[in-house]
Amino acid sequence: MEDIQTASTPKNITVCNSREEGSLKVAELIANEIKAKQEKGENIVLGLATGNTPKDVYKELIRMHKEEGLSFKNVISFNLDEYHPLAPEHHLSYHRFMDEQLFNHVDINRENINIPTGICKVDDVEEHCNSYEAKIESLGGIDLQLLGIGRNGHIGFNEPGSEANSKTRKIELHEVTRGDASNEFEGLEHVPLHAITMGVETITKAKKIVLMAFGKGKAEIMKQAISEPMNSKVPASYLQTHRSIDYILDKEAATLLSQTH
């Protein structure tokens, strides 16, 4: 695998030849973290994302499980977000996504899977969010957080306006986010108005973060996320000062970076 690294590219930004290469690289990184913890007899707490971006990562992890014996028995997972309201059985829920894209195909213990609920009563949302935070804390925090990025700079569903100290909470989805989901939902009117998401702080507290961005549709927001001063208009910009973040991009998503570095 050949990474395109120019003298001006910061070390923690890897520009891969393709989405496939980037995904293999991320899958390998995750597998190595899982195995390192297994060797110590420890669990690993993974923060997981949905959307198109991580699909090939999950595919490769499944291949590693089936062909190379990679076990997920020591994995405790926390997903970033879920639409609200949306039943877990709904074909577009992130519960379904995770089952279909990863969990149904590996040996993870079902009781180790955590995803914000999309069916919580409005009055119970706050308590649900607080206990999601508390559970992450009680397990020692997230060891490795996988992220995609929205075209509006969201991470998880931390939409523009989300502050650095935000925690798991219910959020109103931004028009860009709902617009991007409207095809899948077969019409904007069917896209949920809200979601439950881990906060920016919940994410930045992770010990390691890997943010992936593929395709030219992510070029402009990657430029802003990496090079603009940190601000709540681009929540992903709050990752800039994280002590261990790797940005994995394909060439298309990186097209505007050379102009800024």
Q: Residue 42 or residue 184: which is nearer to ligand F6R going by CB? A: 184
- Report the distance separating Cα 210 and Cα 19, nearest Å: 14
Q: Is residue 142 a contact residue for ligand F6R (CB under 6 A)?
A: no
Between 107 and 184, CB nearer to ligand F6R: 184
Check if 154 is active-site: yes
Q: Could you say which of 3, 18, 31, 51 contacts ligand F6R (CB under 6 A)?
A: 51
> In sequence order, what are the residues at sequence separation of 6 or more whose Cβ sits closer than 8 angstroms to the Cβ of residue 46?
30, 34, 75, 76, 77, 78, 142, 143, 144, 145, 146
C-beta closer to ligand F6R: residue 37 or 180? 180
Q: Is 22 in the site for ligand F6R (CB under 6 A)?
A: no
Active-site entry in 154, 158, 174, 250 = 154
- Name which of 33 and 81 has its Cβ closer to ligand F6R: 81
Q: How far is the CB of 54 from ligand F6R (least distance, A)?
A: 7
Residue 50 binds to ligand F6R (criterion: CB under 6 A): yes
Residue nearest to ligand F6R (CB): 148
- The residue count for binding ligand F6R (CB under 6 A) is 13
Instruction: Please choose, out of 36-44, 123-131, 144-152, 166-174, the segment that lies near ligand F6R by the rule CB under 6 A.
Output: 144-152
Fill in the per-residue mask, 147 to 166: x = in contact with ligand F6R (CB under 6 A), - = not in contact.
-xxx---xxx----------
Catalytic site residue 190?
A: no
The answer to whether residue 186 is catalytic is no
Among 80, 120, 129, 142, binds ligand F6R (CB under 6 A): 80
Active-site positions read 81, 152, 154, 159
